[in-house]
Amino acid sequence: MKIDKNSFTPLYLQIEQQLTEKISAGEIKPGDPIPTEAALCEIYGVSRMTARKAVDYLVRQGRVARFRGRGTYVVEAPKQQKIILPLDRHLTASEVAQENNQRIENQVLEFRRIPVSEDIAIELNIPPGTDVYFMIRLRLLGDEPFVYEQCWMRADNFPDINRAAMTASKYAYIRSKGFQPAGSTKLISAELPSNEIRLALNLSRDQPVLHSHAVVSFTDGSLFEVSDVYYNQKNYGFSVHAKVKG
């Protein structure tokens, strides 16, 4: 097995690609160990750090798993398919669950009424100190934690909102009060989560999340919500339909 040290492709990715090809071809089967980091160093003539990065990448992809004191082994391909969210549509968690024929559960981890901070006030176009509802929700599809959400909602629109209502569909509640959400402006990024989010989503230390920062408006154009939503990237991806200009 050889790698091209003059290639623009990083060495660790070349090693990962070769191991992935062997796993896909069945040369290394579920339950079989992959070469140790020391063996990879010898096989490819690379540093221990490069070998470790290659194995780390396979671990993040869910193709192999490390077992303390035993080594790193190929695992069965996950049965859960990745859910693809369209960037040009504002899908609620309930709509995602319905489209994928799965049960959704909302766990409300925190719910309180607070004066809005200056940065959130600017995004909502309201005076700093105005009351908002702040909530943290963890969403599960089946038994899998998929989404960690932090949300700030204007309190003046929903005086009777409560924690129990947020264990169901947030947008169903909003519509029941006569309001119609129109859509959102989103900024999507990939990042390493805080320890709190990592533990909630059951991620390892080096697994990134897909972070969506959104500002949501009603049909009349008024803004009512700012949210930071962290998607378990093992299960989520994003897509957009891009048109070719004339």
Separation in Å, CA 172 to CA 32, 178, 181: 48, 10, 10
pLDDT at 120: 96
Largest CA distance in the chain: 67
Confidence of residue 227 (pLDDT cuts 50, 70, 90): very high
Give the CA count within 13 Å in the CB-facing half-sphere of 125: 7
Mean pLDDT for all residues in the chain = 85
pLDDT at 48 over 90: yes
Which residue in 137, 131, 97 sits closest to 116, CA to CA? 131
Q: pLDDT for 6-46, tens place per residue?
A: 888 889 989 998 998 998 888 999 999 999 999 999 999 99
pLDDT band at residue 232, thresholds of 50, 70 and 90?
confident
pLDDT value at 223 more than 70: yes
- pLDDT-wise least confident of 64-73, 123-132, 148-157: 64-73
First-to-last C-alpha distance (Å) of the chain? 47
Domains in the chain and their CATH numbers? 11-74 (1.10.10.10), 83-239 (3.40.1410.10)
**If 0-12 CB within 10 Å is exposed, 13-18 middle and 19+ buried, where does residue 113 land?**
exposed
- Range scoring the smallest mean pLDDT among 122-136, 209-223, 232-246: 232-246
- State mean pLDDT over 82-98: 58
Percent of the residues in the chain that have a pLDDT greater than 70, as a whole number: 83
pLDDT at 210 over 90: no
The 8-class DSSP code of residue 140 comes to E
User: In the chain, helix, strand, coil percent, each to 5?
Assistant: 25, 35, 40
Confidence of residue 84 (pLDDT cuts 50, 70, 90): low
Band (204; pLDDT cuts 50, 70, 90): confident
